[in-house]
Amino acid sequence: MKYHQSKLAFEHIFGQTSAILTEPKGDTIDVVILCHGFLSNKNSRTNLHLTQLLIHKGLSTLRFDWFGMGESTGRFSDITVTTCRSQLDAILEYIKTKGYRNIGLVGSSFGGLLSILFAANHPELFAIGLKCPVPDFPEMLEREFGKDGLRQWQQTNTIPNVMGGAEPIDLNFQFYENCKAFNAYAQAKQISTPCLIVHGQQDELVPIHQIEQLNKNLAGRKKLLLLKKANHHFGRPEDFRTMSLALTKWIVDHVPNPLNT
């Protein structure tokens, strides 16, 4: 299917967000905002693949870089959940000015956490898709680094290079403290929008009890899809395909007055 891509920039109170709006040829009022994970970017494998799948169904997508990642402004070391929430607010306001009336949301990992917090205050969203979301980011960090690692993080404002490099990553301890100010489980109780969670039972980062609690707390129509052999990155091609198709189908099935696809 033919489509058009526009590179955009959104101002928010903490800086500027880099984004790409992909639109199918012809009119549509349906768009899906794609939120990538921690230390990733708007052109992640998941975002690009979902864009192709959704465009084929006649939906636009908007993918963007979180603060301090990709081409968005700011230092990654200064990122907080508060900062990222302001980005989503700015994006939503912009997308409405473009004439989009049906707005969906897909979040991966850290982007899943932000999607939960955002959706709790935006019941106008028509559907939400969560790929291996992290509703309790502080717990995940505590499990990953341990007490000694957290103490070192607080002292140095750096974390181990989780991307495999030798040098530590600059990240202010304020990120951890800011995360603790948000309760995604409580926020999930405010979400009436239909929500799909896709999670791998071999996820090495997000414990399954977080996913089960999140699913239990969601107030609206919901579905939990657990993939027996999938890890956090859905590294096996068959798992990645199942996850992508499931998210796409959930979004398309919930579009109000969908186009004939």
Residue 100, phi then psi, degrees to nearest 5:
-80, 125
Residue 243's alpha-carbon distances to 85, 129, 138, 232, 234, in angstroms, are: 25, 10, 25, 11, 8
Beta strand 3-12 with 15-24 is antiparallel
Which tokens in the block code for residue 111?
């982007």
Per-residue confidence (pLDDT) for residue 49, from 0 to 100: 98
Cβ proximity of 37 and 111 under 8 Å: yes
- Show pLDDT as tens, one digit a residue, over the chain (261 residues): 789 999 999 899 999 999 999 999 988 999 999 999 999 999 999 999 999 999 999 999 999 999 999 999 999 999 999 999 999 999 999 999 999 999 999 999 999 999 999 999 999 999 999 999 999 999 999 999 999 999 999 999 999 887 777 889 999 999 999 999 999 999 999 999 999 999 999 999 999 999 999 999 999 999 999 999 999 999 999 999 999 999 999 999 999 975 444
**CA 182 to CA 113: how far, in whole Å?**
10
Cα separation values, 58 from 25, 168, 177, 201, 257, Å: 8, 43, 41, 32, 12
3-class SS of residue 178: helix
Whether the model clears a pTM of 0.85, i.e. scores above it, the answer is yes
On the 0-12 / 13-18 / 19+ scale of CB atoms within 10 A, 49 is middle
The pLDDT value recorded for residue 261 is 41
β-pair type (195-200, 127-131): parallel
Encoded tokens for 177? 């403290």
**Phi, psi torsion values for 93, nearest 5 degrees:** -65, -40
The pLDDT value recorded for residue 259 is 47
The pLDDT, as a whole number, for residue 117 is 98
Strand 60-64 relative to strand 30-35: parallel, antiparallel, unpaired?
A: parallel
